[in-house]
Copies of this chain bind each other. A is one copy, B any other.
């Protein structure tokens, strides 16, 4: 159950109540720097050594072969293939709708400004290993990359001690059209895609979840000119529940988040203390059978229930917290949409669990945590492209706009900027004569 219950906090307490547990990044940074240096100087052989060290497996080849991929097909059940196919179709449908049309605006006679979305050429996807084989994250990253039109999609994931990547990850990757797959995990995977090695190509942007080392490595990749999807932290869920919620469902949703990791955070904001009691009772019932019970218990210790009677104040708290996932567990959930300013992904109503969006409804599950939803959004098709601007100016266009540019440039003391217009205007004047 959630033991930390705060009833009617003052607004001045919101800031401290919404702070996430801090971790010390210093030691991480030194390790990550060392790994980058190792990969920079020794390339593939560093990757093979680091994989032996961290994944207990000495590889001969880093790249997954087409034979390995073909073999995995038999190891994934038809039921799972069908489910992944359904999810993929939904994710494609929602992400295809996000493709931006080019914009072309005539600013004045002879001045045309355009904006065109162009895919990032080479992107890298990181899929962690560990207890949960996250093939769902392959869908969430590869599908929008393909829709955006990325030319090269590189996927790295750590092998198990037998030198294999989970069959469902490989099967999903080939289904989506990932270009190449490598058996590398951790910070060394991010380093390999940032620097390029004999085997692993260098990419322009890296995506995907991971532990603290992977997160630190993604930030460190900036030093090598490689962008990242977003700053990452432990996953989190905030549920807003009023008297029309179903406590059994709320408890199940909170537990689905809590099982992610002991560092996950779940927050229940309720309009009444009775709701917290009812949800806690349900948590006690449901948690007992969970395979990941001890993880969920750990996460619940970081978690809070906050009772706020006033709706306005509740949403001020929610927006200050800026949750990664936000469930509105009420019957009239759509009435609350206008109140939501800061969140990664929002789930409306009693029949809309977070796990729908985690897997199969169509929205993306790579989302900003740790309050970053105040300034970042989750991964979408735009994350895999850039909006480049173009302008086209005719003789008539520069003749009309020229004086404005010259006045502004000279007022900023940038004479050569003004001259670039003047040489053209003078040339046009002499043409007229």
Contact = CB atoms under 8 A, between A and B. Distances in A.
Interface stretch (A1-9, A63-71, A103-111, A152-160): A103-111
Interface string A204-226: 11000000000000010010011
A374 interface: yes
Contacts of A371: 225
Contacts of A378: 387, 389
Interface stretch (A31-39, A78-86, A179-187, A302-310): A78-86
Nearest to A392: B348
Given A121-B341, A134-B412, A286-B423, 18 more contacts: A113-B361, A249-B420, A252-B416, A252-B420, A252-B424, A255-B419, A296-B416, A337-B390, A344-B388, A349-B392, A351-B397, A355-B414, A355-B421, A358-B405, A359-B405, A361-B393, A363-B391, A377-B388
Interface residues of A, number: 128
A330 interface: no
Interface in A337-395: 337, 340-364, 370-378, 380, 382, 386-395
Contacts of A292: 413-416
A411 interface: yes
A118 interface: yes
Contact of A389 (B86, B346, B420, B427): B346
A120 interface: yes
A86 B418 CA distance: 16
A355 B417 CA distance: 6
Copies of this chain, tallied across the complex:
2
A386 B340 CA distance: 12
A407 interface: yes
B352 A388 contact: no
A209 to B, nearest CB: 13
Contacts of A348: 390-393
B405 A356 contact: yes
A311 B136 CA distance: 42
A44 interface: no
